[in-house]
Amino acid sequence: MKGVIAAGDHQTCAAGIHLLEAGGTAVDAILAAAFASFVVEPPLTSAAGAGVLLHGDPSRGFEIVDFFAQTPGRGLDRWPELDFHKVTVDFGPTSQAFHVGKAAAAVPSALPGLLATHARCGTVPLVDILAPAIDYARHGYVLSKQVRWVNELLCPIVTMTAGVRQIFCENGEIANAGTRQYNLPFANFLEAIARDSDDALAAFRQAMVTHFGPTSGGLITAADLENYRPQIREPLRTHFGDFEILTNPPPASGGGLIAFALKLVERSKLGEFQSASHLIEMAEIFRAVSLARLAGYDANISDPGTIEGLLEPANVDRWIHQMAARKEERQLGGTTHISVIDVKGGAASLTASNGEGSGHVLPDMGIHVNNFLGEEDINPLGFHKFVPGSWMTTMMSPTVVLKGGSPVLVLGSGGSNRIRSAVTSALVNSLHFGVDLDTAVNAPRLHVEGDKLWFEADDNKPEAYDELQSRWTDASRFSGPNMFFGGVHATARLDSGLVGGGDKRRGGAVAAAGDS
């Protein structure tokens, strides 16, 4: 076996497998898969979105390529009249409000980020990286049931303008699962990148200023795009038992919160897997993580001492005591992820997002532009309260687990603020409980914000979920898996070989590259 990949669509996986079978590395594979995902998973990711990549191997080490978004508006002396309004997405037992329009678009960074990554560490020509995505866009891909369901969920956004309807609809209606879909403008644009990436990137920037700039109801300026550069960062490192966890450092918020949750897990008694004790303890841990975040964590995320203070043993002790006291009292709620491991020890973990999309596209390019300025979770001070040129924080947490210096588990998740609980749950399931990878990523999950709990229940241990509900009487209970709780896609290296686990909540798919 040459490698294994897990992603949100089998066609995304196939693109990465094509590169692995051709002798490419985990990074080559994840780049090809990422470009393919722009075509086959359009509600979740886009060339005008953003992402974070963690990659490396034992000999070269590991690094973060951070190409998350920056806030726009450089050079503006005042805000123009903004195209910005609210829509509500219904997840069933709960709903979530998002804002869309051209003024919801942050500086797009996925395209420059992937191109910079290829220039930095790609081992095959860019034309080969782009070939699967071009093929899907020009000759068609099959719309999966899961992506179709997401499109239906985001109906107010993906039918908002004629431009997005060309990507998501057929004969004026959201296309049905199994339909062969095309994106010919994007195919043409990708071919232009393959010919001359600098010229194509310049055209992309000009289109962003023209259609999402101040004269069009947005905030993107030429200075925003000219000054954007992906950042190379050292991963945040923490230990969990015999394992070393590498994840996304500040200014992202998610990695530190996951590390904090794992420290609390180490000091807790979880009981048996999916028991009432396990569920109740994890709910309390996630509550502590949420409250710690609210207690100045985001506001001080750029301070190097913030993470150190959060993980300092005395602080962990304080939270453990608070959790114990609370439990005694109680006795009386668009993103995708790709993970790759190759046979040579290389690992790559990429979380990418378009938010939910702004509802507007770049004409003649077939690219749906992000709405990061319209997501409450990454705009904690309120909408349009930022300093132009600021690096936006994110819950994105691509993660690699090392044992003895070598990668044994690669994972990450989509899911807005639920990313931290999704990744933590999968890590605990796999590393603490030792369950198989498919179970680790698909077991029922829960999430806490403040004193509000959301959780999934299944038929295996109803008494455990009933007890959890009795302790959190206002909790929102989901009768089965729901994409609200993210989508963890993971790969692992076991003694028996390479394996993968795809999250069924978000169309999880796994594929392996063989020797033939």
Residues with catalytic roles: 335
Angstrom CA distances, 294 to 259, 289, 299, 499, stand at: 16, 9, 9, 37
Alpha-carbon torsion, ordered 90, 447, 369, 140, to 10 deg = -80
Beta-ladder partners of 373: none
340 vs 17: CA distance, rounded Å: 10
Mapped onto helix, strand or coil, the DSSP state of residue 414 is strand
What tokens appear for 496 in the block?
Answer: 């028996």
Residue 299 main-chain phi, psi, to 5 deg: -65, -25
Measured distance between the N- and C-terminal CA atoms of the chain, rounded to whole angstroms: 9
65, 353 contact by CB (below 8 A)? no
- The DSSP code for 294 is I
Angstrom CA distances, 355 to 199, 240, 368, 375, 417, stand at: 27, 31, 10, 7, 12
368, 361 contact by CB (below 8 A)? yes
Residue 180: partners with Cβ closer than 8 Å, 6 or more residues away: 140, 141, 142, 143
377, 416 contact by CB (below 8 A)? yes
6, 490 contact by CB (below 8 A)? yes
Q: Would you put residue 107 in left (φ > 0), alpha (ψ -120 to 50) or beta?
A: beta
366 vs 368: CA distance, rounded Å: 7
